[in-house]
Structure 1
Amino acid sequence: MRYQRLFIFFSIAFLQILFASLTQGIDKFIVNDNQIVTKNFLGFGAEWDTYYYNGYNISDKDFKLITDRISNMKLPIVRIMVLGKYCYLGNGKYNWNSDSMISIYKQLDFCQKEGIKVIVCAWGAGYNPNDWLKIHDVSGVDDPKYADVVGTIMDYLLNTKGYTCIKYFSTINEPDLQLRNNWGMWLKCMNNFADNFKRHGLTHKLILLGPEITESNADNWLKNSSVQLSSLLGVYSLHLYASRNLVKSGGLESIILKNMKYVSNSNSVAASKPFFITEAGMSDDFKPPYGNPHISDFQYGIFMADYAVQAARAGSSAILAWMLDDNSHKDFYWGMWANKIDNFKIRPWYYAWSLLSRIFPNGATVYRVEQPKDIRILVARIHGSTDEYWSICLVNRASSYKTMGIKVPEAKNTLFSYFNYYSNASTNDVDFFNKSVIKMRSDISGSIIVNCPPNSIVVLTSLQT
């Protein structure tokens, strides 16, 4: 018996040494509730405008192609441009059946059906007759008539048409640039809209979102917004186009945290509000407003996924890519697919962004776990009606394979679907997700070992995708 016990002891010791040698070089992390950063994540969305759909002659068949792709992505949230000039004719008259408004109704009908949350941005009013934003009878965004015109449109969309999918409203796009950093002008605009929404009974139907400024002017605008508008704003928002070097270094997360602290350090009311990135993209070599020459590169997908993970880890409740579709504006090349002239060709980053939008849905709880050098990690718990699910995203920015040991104690013996976005893996195939899935199961402790190819995105989810 003594020899049997010694044999068992040395066998166990040998197995422990063998396991240690086999797992040497594996980076391990454990998920726990102390790492929670967001308890009601809204998801990864996109800007979706129909401003130039009529210019590109987008037919009903074309529109179905576009919405089928959005459905396949399971986009949880979109931001939509709605301009005063779409229907306001001047002298208090509106054309609710203009071509532009018909396009908006089609968008909103689809979002209502699919349960997609909508941010409406009125964009601005223009300051001269030739300005593309010019609205009849309106002298500028601080003119009460601007709030009257746009408020009437919002009243029609919510109270007459019944679009409950519209949850958020933004008065102006990038007021720091449009108004040349005139804070007082935007403050007056915001108060005009608050009064107008109250008259239309929209105060409790719409959440005001802002200031929608660029990161270069964020400090003063976010501080002023959190101090002077904390009773009006329900969401704080920022536009941030980042460089490849910043994102690859992992430094974007701290930049977003810094901007969020401009709000949270101001007062407790502001600190309790969600923070959105409502325009996310790459700044390298971009040609404002038209596009980015790197948009069709495989690497753009890696960049955007890395950006998204860092933004979510920082505590952003929603991250919206700029933008969904090249048909939105004339000669733009920002989208996940090309315009009608170029046959709606899908770009690789469509697949990267879709992986995130599908596996990190609205309502998820997001965790910021420790991560090794050159790896970005995002973990989320998804609360179903009867069960709970887990999603994990790993972005490997290294030039070599990385092996990760992931332990989720509450996901014992759980079946995960494994997807991988890496060079030559993505094809121009909208059914990419169903064709590239591999199944993996965690062990009785909730642990699973995952290999990450160099320069790739790996996602694991126990959701039915």
Structure 2
Amino acid sequence: MKKGYIKTRYKLSLLFVVITYFVIIMTAFGCDDDEYDVKIEEQSKDLVVKTGEVLIESYIGNGVQWDPYPQAYRYWNQPIQDADWNKMYTRLDYMKPSFIRVVFGSYDKYAISGADNYEPTAMYEGLGKILQYCQDNDITVMLGDWGYNQVDSGNDMIFESRIDNAVNYLDYLVNTQGFTCIKYYTTINEPNLNGSAANGNYNVWKNATAYFYDKMVDAGLDSKVKLAGPDIAIFNDNDVSWISNTETDLGNKIDLYDIHTYPSKGSLFSGEFEALLKAYKSQMPEGKQAVIGEFGFKYETGFSVMDMELSNENLNNINSDPFVGTDSNTLVDQYIHGVDLVGLNLKIINSGFAGAINWNLDDAMHSSSNTGQDLKVWGYWNILGDELLGKPEKETIRPHFYSFSLISRYMQKGSKVYKVEVPKLVGLDAIAVEKDGKYMIAINNMSINEYNINFSLDNGTELSGLKKFIYKEDNRLTDANGFPLPEEQNLSIGKGNEINIKPQTLTVYTNFDF
């Protein structure tokens, strides 16, 4: 996604289109159920946490992609100042991400003087600051390289000496600098896509990854850092073979399965998105965890009326602002994005993935060119809004910080995820999380409908001492920093309580102490 090579390949299913058309026609002609002797069964409104059915035994965490500002340091002469680092640290202290992905290019770090050079201290500050924060806060890091300069996809080659340097750099970070927070590493970002370092060449990715692993073993790193892969971006089921081939060819060299996803909004309503995740998850070996290494909305990957309207709006925003790059999601400024994003996150969790990383934390991380005038707008803020654009308001947190922070904050590393029986109501998703006897229940409603549902736990337990947060468009409660505050406190629910869920909102109940 970062390099702008996302493909518009992801279409809504014909079934969804036909059903939608049928509903429109039936509504337009005002058909009466009795006329056709149709008996519509009333849907259950019971939302039940199935404590006897554990979906994920130990969750790795939710979090964000936080890259080390390569262009700011190298090209823009705008190194991040201490005040801005501290501003971000304070915000992340509230978000409490458990899982962060950090990706860099060798050419922006140790190989800045040339592809075959090795200077581990070069351009280190941004990366060092990020890793130190993760180290200090017990955050699992999935580190990676974009992979450019290390392979030649056209000639089916890998450059072993350059991969040697990549392993040396990992050793420098882990053993010299002491960053034990680095638990996973990816060798090439989104290798299945044209425009990536591998340019869709599976053999190049496989050979580079196998060689990297062998060198990790030689350096004694394999006991400290595990490889994740194949790190592919999925838009349909055409690349499922990357998963099965990875298991066959690399076996236990890959410890964590990792894919990226940028679905259309429409596919979250049709059920097509869950079916896509299932197609890939089903090919992953049992006993190994799977994560989503990037997720978000590009708003260009669907063909429903809704998706086309969102795409047009995004493109219009991009074209009307010279400081926004083409690879951007300008809808991050809108309240509704916070509902959509959590809806996507909950579907990922309920599909059995043990971690999810949102692309991305900060607009200032990447630009389409080296000028800094065409930023890739995706973040929760632009920490260089004042310095780079003369717009300090860009440094304020965006609405979706509120919603995603709740899902990240109250779903800590090691959380147990229970299956939730959710009423078949349009746009409704829910998760139930428990750790050390504390719970978080999150109910997200992407639809324009208001629902009254009955909440219970299957074992008859009542949850007490709960805080209730509501992410809503107007009058949501925040503190002076813009961080969420509970609407109500010291609540008890769990034995069939009726809960009102407003349209396009996220409701979170939790009795965690923080």
Q: Give me the whole-angstrom Cα distance separating, in 1, the residues matched to 2:349 and 2:157.
A: 32
Q: Is the 8 A contact 1:367 1:378 kept in 2?
A: yes
Structure 2: runs of 5 or more not aligned: 1-41, 300-310, 316-324, 368-374, 386-390
Match of 1:30 among 48, 62, 79: 48
Q: Superposed, which structure 2 residues align to 1:90-239 within 5 Å?
A: 94-98=118-122, 100-126=123-149, 142-177=158-193, 178=196, 179-216=198-235, 217-239=238-260
Shift of the 273–84 alpha-carbon distance from structure 1 to 2, 3 Å rule, reads same
Matching residue of 2:438: 389
Distance in 1 between the 2:460 and 2:124 partners?
48
Q: Which amino acid aligns with 1:142?
A: I
- Within a 5 Å distance, the mapping from 1:6-17 to structure 2 comes to none
1:402 partnered with 2:451: yes
Q: Which of 338, 353, 359 is the aligned partner of 1:316?
A: 353
Q: Deviations over 1:73-128 (max 9, x none)?
A: 00111100132220234597533332x21211111111111111111011112489
1:46 aligns to 2:46 (yes or no): no
Aligned partner of residue 434 in structure 2, secondary structure = strand
Match of 2:344 among 304, 307, 321: 307
Which moves more between the two structures, 212-221 or 402-411?
402-411
Calculate percent identity across the aligned residue pairs: 24
Please list the CA deviations of residues 170-190 of structure 1 after superposition, one character each: whole Å capped at 9, or x if unmatched.
Answer: 001011122232111111101
SS at match of 1:31: strand
The TM-score normalised by the length of structure 1 is 0.84
Does 2:407 correspond to 1:356?
A: yes
Matched AA of 1:117: T
Amino acid at match of 1:102: E
Q: Secondary structure at the match of 2:158?
A: coil
SS at match of 1:354: helix
In structure 1, stretches of 5+ residues that fail to align are: 1-23, 132-138, 264-269
Instruction: Say if 1:117 and 1:165, in contact at 8 Å, map to a contact too.
Output: yes
Q: Which residue of 1 aligns with 2:430?
A: 377
Question: What do the CA deviations read for 1:138-193 (whole angstroms, capped 9, x no partner)?
Answer: x9972112320110100000111110010000001011122232111111101110
Q: 1:112 to 1:359 in 2, by over 3 A?
A: same
Q: 1:125, 1:141 within 8 Å by CA — same for their partners in 2?
A: no
Corresponding position of 2:320: none
- Matching residue of 1:19: none
Deviation, 1:256, is 1.1
Structure 2 CA distance, aligned partners of 1:283 and 1:27? 33
Pairwise CA distance, 1:326: 0.8
Secondary structure in 1 aligned to 2:148? coil
State the partner residue of 1:256: 277
Q: 1:428 to 1:412 in 2, by over 3 A?
A: closer
Further displaced range: 351-360 or 250-259? 250-259
Specify the code of the residue in structure 2 equivalent to 1:340: L
CA RMSD across the alignment: 2.5
Deviation at 1:251, TM superposition (A): 3.6
TM-score normalised by length of structure 2: 0.77
| Secondary structure of 2:282 counterpart | helix
Deviations 1:45-84 (A, max 9, x none): 1100122342343211111111211111001111001322
Distance 1:399 1:91 in 2: 53
- How far 1:436 moved relative to its partner? 3.5
Equivalent residue for 2:473, pick from 397, 400, 423: 423
Following the alignment from structure 1 to structure 2, what is the Cα–Cα distance between the partners of residues 122 and 289? 23
Aligned length: 421
- Asked whether the equivalents of residues 477 and 485 of structure 2 are also in contact (C-alpha less than 8 Å), the reply is no
Further displaced range: 104-113 or 307-316: 104-113
- Which entry has the higher C-alpha Rg, 1 or 2? 1
Contact 1:254 1:314 in 2 (8 A): no
Q: Which residue in the other structure is 1:334 paired with? A: 378
The amino acid of 1:78's aligned partner reads I
